Every structure is written in structure tokens, then in C-alpha cells.
């Protein structure tokens, strides 16, 4: 409402409603019952847990929407420079608990519910996960949205509202099977369909030259049109009224879609064709490693980019006339190369629709884009076949060619005719299949290129983007990743949260993570040690119960809970873990009674999904099950060793597993993990790390000290030399022995596992399992030794958590805001 012109009416309307919804127990109970009766449409005298969850979620959502509206109105009034965070993946998990905690109304709701005879935690468990992403990159986006809201930054997230999220992993006889995750089956209460916020998105067609006011201009006549509908997901900050927007686009048929077939009377075909439009946002690509150059994937990328760019232009043009002001109001963050078509799209809009000169448009591009890459390997960089791009987006291909032409001309002036280098740096890759290198496009057009850890950034500067770094050193920065303590301590580990607040004497660390360091003062305090161990025990009980329900296996709480959970990948070396477990099993089997008494009992827990087409990763899962079958049924071993595979690892499973872990493993071959964020969550939860010096781990060790981590393995700079040694590299006998056990069929399926063994023996051991094996076993032995010394272990655990503050996404986001996006907080008044 415009309060100036329609003040009277506004006041009358305000009088009809409470300004804010109330949060006292009676109001909350009334609200919940109201939603049971009128929203869920069940009788308020008879409803089950799921219906209670729905009513509860609606009551929470109402309160969320109030703040969201206030924030949007405040941003509109203040008109600050905004960051637009473009990401094809957001792994949000469950929302309810996170929202009530950030809104500061969890306890009130819990009280209200208990008076109605319900338990908050039980209802929260009713919610399904929103799995609109593959792994680390996607969960990072979710953590960063939480930090953006909490730190009051004017930000908007943009992504795709897939109908099918990441596949569900089902294990049958030890093999992974994938099932579709139709997560919208029971409705999604957290997003708001905005049927009036839609944009047409065009594909295919031709580009013609036309004259407008005597000037030649390009006109794109599309061959297909699809409608993008906005679904808004309010993201509340903690300790602030600010609630920002995550806008996800869904594809709907457009009225102009394929008009031709309606006119030619092909009515049924035309309707079927219209339905095909929806397939653009139907499925998340379940690949966490390679790019397949599929048309649908490219369509998804452009669909979400085009809708987002139209939305950004619409917002800008609401209040601004001159495009020269665009960079003062807009920062566009490319989360990996997946949204990098935005560069060509913004250029196209400025040139063809706003009729700016190339020079002015290019000047704007160079000021607004920043790019973060999450990959280390050249094979991980996205390439799009020129034919595919030219067919789907003919005008964009022209623009990319023009950008490239100008760039190469400039480059020649700077470096001369060094054709090798020019070829490497060109956006266009020549070859049997001509490709567009999306990473080169992103680096050339962004003012800043970020890596996600210090080591990653070094690798970018010296290897992946060396040519570009030599040219533009000032463009290259890094922001070591972080995770949000709201989700990864407050929501997932309430007992630890209460304990930390008690010992620090404040809850302020939930917003100001640097305060965690205060725990160091009590690292040897006996009383804290007692309470700290108690918290771990509570979480281990919860995890042990889950394991029993999932697998029927009873595990001992006295054992060390040793966890490795992440996507299954050769470079992450789950296989090294399994080989280590076989070695441990073999050793115990060969021990006499006395020696067995000294063995530290372990429950080894592995979890993670393999990409559906990734054969070797799937074999690793099967091997894990085969080994578990053998060990867990060996009565002679008893509680000394157990192995559990946790199926369908996702955000909510992680929330339960991480707090219950004593030790967690991060085994990537050094130089292969860009950052790694799982380790940060474990560290915050007082879990010790056994890890290689890779990605962010290096910085974590600096924060908490070498003595508090079990480090092992070759360093990144040694890896290249080790690989060169190849066949002359000696592998330890212990390694050959465990591989032989697999080959000889100790765990069955020897034919099936043969290719797995072949991959790690001789010259083919690319990820250096053999080379790192002894060092790995030594680190494991050191962990055993530390575990039996309870006092030492607890001290290490406290020091780890105390030193984890730097790995909060609040720090990462603040660095982005200050050094990359140049945005200021814009706090909504309470």
C-alpha cells in the first residue's frame, strides 16, 4: 500500500488485523488448530502427526511471511546494491526447525504443542528433505543463504525448482539402486507460488539483422517459448527481522508455445507438446563429476538464467532509468560456471532490448559479475558443444563469439602471437567437436574469480587458470568456505548448543562465531569434560538407535564412532578407508587374547551416494557391504569392529550422524578437494579429524594446531612427483595383502571387484592409495592411542570446536560482501 495516497484505507486495514501475529502459548495453539481445521481441512478433534506438522508449519510460515514482507518493503525503500546469487543447486534439507530457531520462537512452539499433546521433535521429523542439489556446492549455497540473511545483506538467491530432487539411494543386496525423489508429493509448505510473477523464456529460432531508427540491430525470432513461474522461499536470518528471498523457477507451458500446431488442428499433439515444456525444471542432474553436454541441461541453465535476469532488470527498471547506474545496484554472483550463460544474456538484453552500444554494455558486464569455481580438475570444467549452443541459443552464441573476438584481439596486443597460449585462453575450443569453455567465459567477464580455500586458489593461479592469472593477477581472490553454525550446531546438536552457551555465558556466539574461541579457556576443566562427554554420549545413543533401526545392527557405545560420509568418489578414497578396515580386521583375527584386549573397539560408518553412471563408485559401495557382511557376522570379533553403511545420506541424516561421531575421515588425495565442508561440520560438533592436507583442512589445522588432528599422506606438491615414480613406487606389504584378500574372494564377488583392485594396483593407482597406506595406518594408530586417553581426547575435541569459528559461512559471506560484491548490510527495523 502507498501510505501517502491511501493513508485512510491503510489505517482502516491495519485496524482490522493485529500488526504482528502473537507468540504466546494460547495464540500459538489457536493458530495451529485454526490451520488444522481450515488449511489442512482435518477436524481439530482428530488429526495425526503429519497433519499436526502441516498445521504447525503453516503457523510458522505465517510468521515468516510477516518478516519477509517487511524485509522486501524495507529493501525496496532503501534501494541498496543487491547481490544476486545464481546457483543451479540448493540443498536445503528440512526447514521447520531451522526457521523457528532463526525466528526465535522454537521454545514457544514446543510449549504450545506439548499443551496440545504433541512433541515438537516428533513433528519436525515428519518433514521431508528438499534435495535440490548434489553435494558440497549445493549445501554451501544453502549455508550461504542463511548467513546472507543473518548478516542483513540485501541478497536474492535464484535457482531451479526441480520436481525431482537428487535420487533416493536404496541398497539391495549391497548394490546401490536409484529411485526418483518426487519430493513435492506431500506438497511443499515453505515456498509460495507467485502465479503473477512469470517471464517468457525463448529457445531455438533464428537471428536476423534489422534496422531500428537507422541503426542495424539483431532480432532473435525464437522457435519455442516457455513460461518461468516464480516460487519464493523466504530465508530468515537469526537475531534479525531480515528474511531474504530464494526465488526458484518452475517451467510451465506458455500460451505462445508452439501456436502453429494448434492452428494446424493438431490439437492433441499440441497439448502433449505443451506438457513437454514442464520437463525443463523436472529433474536435477545427478552427476557430481562430469559434464555430459546434454541439451536438457543447457536448457535448464538458460531457463533459470533468463528468468532471473528478466527479474533483475525489472527490479532495476522500477526505480532507475539510466543503465550506467546498474553496477551501483547489481552484483551478480556465478556459483560455478552453471549460471554463466547469464553473461551472454545480460549482454543480449543490454544490446538488443535496451539498445546500448557494445562498449557501454561491455563496460557494465565487467563491473557486475563475480565467479566462484568449486573444482580443481581441468576435466571438471564445463564445456558446451558449439552446435548445441548455436541451435538452442543462436544469438547467445554470436555474442560469445564477439566477446571472444574482442578478447583475443586485446590479448594479442598484450602477449603477442603466442598461439599456444592464445589457443588455451580462447573461449572457443577448436577440435573434432568445437566447444565453448564456460570457465574461460566466466573468468574473462568477471571482475573477481574466487577459489574456495587457500590451496584451491593457489592451484587456480598456478595450474587451472595460470594463463589468466599471469594476465590479471588482481582478479584472483579466495574465500575459504564455511558452514552455518545455526544449522550445524543449534538445530542439529541442541545439547551441545546449550552446553556452549552455558560455558560461554552467552548465546551471542550463534551470531558471532568468533566467541567460540572462549571455550579454549576451559579445555582442561574437569567439569566441562564431564558435560562434554555426556553430550557426545547422548548423540551417540541417537545415532546407535538409528543404526539399529536401519540395519538391525546393535553397536557398542564404548566403541569409537568413526565416520566417513560424503559423495562416493575415487579421489575421496572411501576405498582407502575400506582397505584400512580390512587390515584392522585381519590384524585382530591374527591376535592372541591378550593383544585383543588392547584393541580399541570401532564402529566404522560410511555413507554417501554414487552418481548413477559411476561404475567404480558403485563397486565401492558394494565392497563396503561385502566387507561389512563378513565382519559383522564374525562372532569371534564381536564388538571390536563393526562396519555400517548408512543408506541415502542427505542433510537430515547428516544432522544426526555428525553430532554422534567421535572421529571423521577426510581422505582425498592432496590437491583434489577444492575445499571440503563436511569436515567443518564435524569439527564444530567436537569430532576429531583424520585427514590429508587438502583443501580447507590445511587452514583448519592452522586454526586448531597439528596436535589436535590426525594428519597423514602425501602433500599436494608431493603428489605429482609420486605419480611420476609410477611403477617404481614401492607399496607396503600390508597394502598388497588386503588387496589380495579382496582378489582372493574373502568377501565374495571376486570377479565383480577385480576392476576395483586393478584400479589401485601398479601404475593405475592414480589416487595413490598404495603410496599413502602406511601413513594412513599410522594416523589410525595415533587416533586409537588418543581415544583410550579420555582426558586427552576430550581436550582435543573441545579445542577443535573452539577453533572452528573461522569456518562459519558468516565469515565467508562477510568477506564476499566486502571484497567481492561491495555491498552493505541493510537491516530491517524491528
- Active-site residue set: 374, 566-567, 572, 677, 681
- For residue 279, the minimal CB distance to ligand F58 (Å) is 19
Beta strands 224-236 and 243-253, pairing class = antiparallel
731 by DSSP, 3-state: which? coil
Three-state SS string over 30-59 comes to: HHHHHHHHHHCCCCCCCCCHHHHHHHHHHH
Instruction: Report how far residue 248's alpha carbon sits from residue 191's, in angstroms, rounded to the nearest whole number.
Output: 9
Nearer to ligand F58, 641 or 687 (CB): 687
Min separation Cβ 287 and ligand F58, Å: 5
Smallest distance from ligand F58 to CB 635, Å: 40
Q: Which one of residues 332, 624, 631, 674 is an interface residue with ligand F58 (CB under 6 A)?
A: 674
In whole angstroms, what is the distance from residue 290 CA to residue 668 CA?
18
Shorter beta-carbon distance to ligand F58: residue 42 or 456: 456
Q: Judged by CB, which is closer to ligand F58: 134, or 370?
A: 134
Does position 142 interact with ligand F58 (CB under 6 A)? The reply is no
Q: Which helix (H) or strand (E) holds 83?
A: strand 82-86
Contact pick of 306, 457, 675, 780 for ligand F58 (by CB under 6 A): 675
- Binding to ligand F58 by CB under 6 A, coded x per residue (else -) over 228-267, reads ----------------------------------------
Three-state SS for 180? strand
Residues in contact with ligand F58, counted by CB under 6 A, come to a total of 16
Q: Distance (Å, rounded) from C-alpha 554 to C-alpha 138?
A: 33
Among candidate residues 464, 660, 643, the one with its CA nearest the CA of residue 546:
660
Backbone angles phi, psi at 200, to 5 degrees: -80, 140
Pairing of strands 130-132, 175-181: unpaired
808 contacts ligand F58 (rule: CB under 6 A): no
Q: What is the DSSP letter of 658?
A: G
Residue 692, C-alpha cell as written in the block: 590429508
Subset of 409-448 contacting ligand F58 (CB under 6 A): none
Q: What would the DSSP string read from start to end of 598-656?
A: TPPPEEEEEE-PPPTT-HHHHHHHHHHHHHHHHHHT-TTTGGGEEEEEESS--HHHHHH
Contact residues for 787 (Cβ-Cβ < 8 A; gap 6+): 560, 600, 662, 663, 793
Q: Which residues, numbered 67-86, are part of the site for ligand F58 (CB under 6 A)? A: none
Any contact of residue 608 with ligand F58 (CB under 6 A)? no
- Nearest CB to ligand F58, comparing residues 222 and 678: 678
Asked whether position 695 contacts ligand F58 by CB under 6 A, the answer is yes
| CB nearer ligand F58, residue 176 or residue 310 | 176
CB of 334 to ligand F58, least distance (A): 13
Among 176, 301, 481, 679, binds ligand F58 (CB under 6 A): 481
Please report how close the Cβ of residue 94 comes to ligand F58 at its closest, in angstroms: 20
Q: Of the candidates 459, 483, 649, 462, which has an alpha carbon nearest to the alpha carbon of residue 564?
A: 649
Q: Quickly count: other Cβ atoms within 10 Å of residue 13's Cβ.
A: 11
Applying CB under 6 A, the span of 74-82, 670-678, 719-727, 773-781 interacting with ligand F58 comes to: 670-678
State the nearest-atom distance from the C-beta of 698 to ligand F58, in Å: 13
Nearest to 201 by CA among 107, 306, 96: 306
Nearest to 474 by CA among 366, 594, 387: 366
Site string for ligand F58, 351-390 (x = CB under 6 A): -----------------------x----------------
Residue 146 CA: distances (Å) to CA of 150, 188, 263, 493, 807:
6, 19, 49, 17, 14
What are the residues facing 664 on neighbouring strands?
563, 689
Closer residue to ligand F58 (CB): 142 or 399: 142
Question: 188-227: which residues touch ligand F58 (CB under 6 A)?
Answer: none
Of 298-306, 675-683, 720-728, 819-827, the window that binds ligand F58 (rule: CB under 6 A) is: 675-683
Return the residue of 673, 765, 784, 810 that touches ligand F58, per CB under 6 A. 673
The C-alpha cell 536404496 sits at: 170
Grid cell locating 473:
593477477
Q: Which residue number, 145 or 349, has a Cβ lying nearer to ligand F58?
A: 145
For residue 18, what are the contacts with CB-CB under 8 A and spacing of at least 6?
A: none
Q: Is 694 one of the binding residues for ligand F58 (CB under 6 A)?
A: no
Is position 699 an interface residue for ligand F58 (rule: CB under 6 A)?
no
Question: Shortest Cβ distance from residue 295 to ligand F58 (Å)?
Answer: 16
Of the candidate residues 79, 125, 266, 287, the single one contacting ligand F58 (CB under 6 A):
287
Residue choice 394, 482, 608, 676 for contact with ligand F58 (CB under 6 A): 676
Residue 155: beta bridge partners?
A: 83
The 112-141 contact track toward ligand F58, x by CB under 6 A, reads ----------------------xxxx--x-
Q: Which residues bind to ligand F58, rule: CB under 6 A? A: 134-137, 140, 287-288, 374, 452, 481, 673-677, 695
Amino acid at each position: 500500500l502507498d501510505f501517502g495516497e491511501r493513508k485512510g484505507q491503510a489505517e482502516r486495514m491495519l485496524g482490522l488485523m493485529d500488526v504482528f501475529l502473537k507468540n504466546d502459548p494460547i495464540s500459538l495453539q489457536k493458530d495451529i488448530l485454526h490451520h488444522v481445521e481450515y488449511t489442512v481441512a482435518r477436524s481439530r478433534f482428530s488429526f495425526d502427526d503429519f497433519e499436526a506438522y502441516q498445521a504447525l508449519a503453516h503457523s510458522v510460515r505465517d510468521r515468516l511471511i510477516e518478516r519477509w514482507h517487511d524485509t522486501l518493503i524495507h529493501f525496496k525503500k532503501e534501494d541498496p546494491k543487491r547481490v544476486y546469487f545464481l546457483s543451479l543447486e540448493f540443498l536445503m534439507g528440512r526447514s521447520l526447525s531451522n526457521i523457528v530457531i532463526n525466528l526465535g520462537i522454537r521454545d514457544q512452539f514446543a510449549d504450545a504443542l506439548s499443551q496440545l499433546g504433541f512433541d515438537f521433535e516428533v513433528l519436525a521429523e515428519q518433514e521431508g528433505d528438499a534435495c535440490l542439489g548434489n553435494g558440497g556446492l549445493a549445501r554451501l549455497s544453502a549455508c550461504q543463504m542463511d548467513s546472507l540473511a543473518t548478516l542483513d545483506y540485501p541478497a536474492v538467491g535464484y535457482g531451479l525448482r526441480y520436481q525431482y530432487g537428487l535420487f533416493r539411494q536404496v541398497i539391495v543386496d549391497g548394490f546401490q539402486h536409484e529411485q526418483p525423489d518426487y519430493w513435492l508429493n506431500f506438497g511443499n509448505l515453505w515456498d509460495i507460488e507467485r502465479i503473477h510473477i512469470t517471464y517468457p523464456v525463448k529457445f531455438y529460432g533464428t537471428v536476423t539483422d534489422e534496422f531500428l531508427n537507422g541503426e542495424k540491430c539483431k532480432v532473435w525470432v525464437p522457435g519455442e517459448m516457455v513460461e518461468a513461474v516464480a516460487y519464493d522461499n523466504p530465508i530468515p536470518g537469526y537475531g534479525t527481522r531480515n528474511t531474504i528471498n530464494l526465488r526458484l523457477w518452475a517451467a510451465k507451458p506458455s500460451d505462445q508455445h508452439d501456436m502453429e500446431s494448434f492452428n494446424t488442428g493438431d490439437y492433441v499433439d499440441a497439448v502433449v507438446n505443451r506438457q513437454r515444456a514442464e520437463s525443463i525444471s523436472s529433474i536435477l542432474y545427478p552427476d557430481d563429476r562430469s559434464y555430459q553436454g546434454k541439451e536438457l541441461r543447457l536448457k535448464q541453465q538458460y531457463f533459470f538464467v533468463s528468468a532471473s535476469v528478466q527479474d533483475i532488470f525489472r527490479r532495476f527498471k522500477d526505480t532507475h532509468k539510466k543503465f550506467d547506474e546498474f553496477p551501483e545496484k547489481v552484483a551478480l554472483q556465478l556459483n560455478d560456471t552453471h549460471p554463466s550463460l547469464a553473461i551472454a544474456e545480460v549482454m543480449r538484453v543490454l544490446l538488443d532490448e535496451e539498445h546500448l552500444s557494445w562498449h557501454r554494455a561491455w563496460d557494465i558486464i565487467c563491473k557486475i559479475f563475480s565467479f566462484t569455481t568449486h573444482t580443481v580438475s581441468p576435466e571438471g570444467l564445463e564445456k558446451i558443444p558449439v552446435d548445441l549452443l548455436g541451435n538452442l541459443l543462436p544469438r547467445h552464441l554470436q555474442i560469445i563469439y564477439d566477446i571472444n573476438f574482442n578478447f583475443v584481439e586485446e590479448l594479442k596486443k598484450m602477449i603477442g602471437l603466442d598461439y599456444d597460449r592464445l589457443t588455451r585462453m580462447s573461449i572457443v575450443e577448436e577440435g573434432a567437436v568445437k566447444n565453448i569453455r564456460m570457465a574461460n567465459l566466466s573468468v574473462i567477464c568477471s571482475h573477481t574469480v574466487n577459489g574456495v580455500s587457500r590451496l584451491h586458489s593457489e592451484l587456480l593461479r598456478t595450474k587451472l587458470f595460470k594463463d589468466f592469472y599471469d594476465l590479471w593477477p588482481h582478479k584472483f581472490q579466495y574465500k575459504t568456505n564455511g558452514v552455518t553454525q545455526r544449522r550445524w550446531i543449534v538445530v542439529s546438536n541442541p545439547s551441545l548448543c546449550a552446553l556452549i552457551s552455558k560455558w560461554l555465558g552467552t548465546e551471542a556466539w550463534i551470531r558471532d562465531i568468533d566467541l567460540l574461541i572462549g571455550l579454549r579457556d576451559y579445555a582442561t576443566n574437569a567439569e566441562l569434560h564431564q558435560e562434554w562427554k555426556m553430550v557426545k554420549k547422548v548423540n551417540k545413543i541417537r545415532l546407535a538407535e538409528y543404526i539399529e533401526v536401519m540395519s538391525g545392527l546393535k553397536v557398542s557405545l564404548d566403541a569409537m564412532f568413526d565416520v566417513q560420509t560424503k559423495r562416493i568418489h575415487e579421489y575421496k578414497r572411501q576405498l582407502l578407508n575400506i582397505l584400512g578396515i580390512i587390515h584392522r580386521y585381519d590384524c585382530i583375527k591374527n591376535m592372541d587374547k591378550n593383544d585383543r584386549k588392547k584393541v580399541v573397539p570401532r564402529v566404522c560408518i560410511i555413507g554417501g551416494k554414487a552418481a548413477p553412471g559411476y561404475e567404480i563408485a558403485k563397486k565401492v559401495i558394494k565392497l563396503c557391504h561385502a566387507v561389512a557382511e563378513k565382519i559383522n557376522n564374525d562372532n569371534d570379533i564381536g564388538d571390536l569392529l563393526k562396519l555400517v553403511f548408512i543408506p541415502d545420506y542427505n542433510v537430515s541424516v547428516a544432522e544426526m550422524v555428525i553430532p554422534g561421531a567421535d572421529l571423521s575421515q577426510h581422505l582425498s588425495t592432496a590437491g583434489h578437494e577444492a575445499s571440503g565442508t563436511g569436515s567443518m561440520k564435524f569439527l564444530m560438533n567436537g569430532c576429531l579429524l583424520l585427514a590429508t592436507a587438502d583443501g580447507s583442512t590445511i587452514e583448519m589445522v592452522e586454526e586448531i594446531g597439528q596436535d589436535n588432528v590426525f594428519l597423514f599422506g602425501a602433500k599436494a606438491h608431493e603428489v605429482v612427483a609420486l605419480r611420476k615414480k609410477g611403477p617404481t613406487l614401492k607399496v607396503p606389504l600390508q597394502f598388497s595383502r588386503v588387496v589380495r584378500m579382496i582378489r582372493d574372494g574373502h568377501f565374495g564377488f571376486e570377479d565383480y571387484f577385480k576392476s576395483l583392485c586393478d584400479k589401485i594396483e601398479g601404475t593405475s593407482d592414480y589416487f595413490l592409495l598404495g603410496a599413502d597406506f602406511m601413513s594412513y595406518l599410522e594416523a589410525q594408530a595415533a587416533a586409537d592411542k588418543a581415544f583410550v586417553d579420555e582426558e586427552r581426547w576430550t581436550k582435543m575435541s573441545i579445542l577443535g570446536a573452539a577453533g572452528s569459528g573461522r569456518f562459519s559461512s558468516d565469515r565467508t559471506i562477510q568477506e564476499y560482501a566486502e571484497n567481492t560484491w561491495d555491498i552493505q548490510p541493510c537491516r530491517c527495523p524491528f
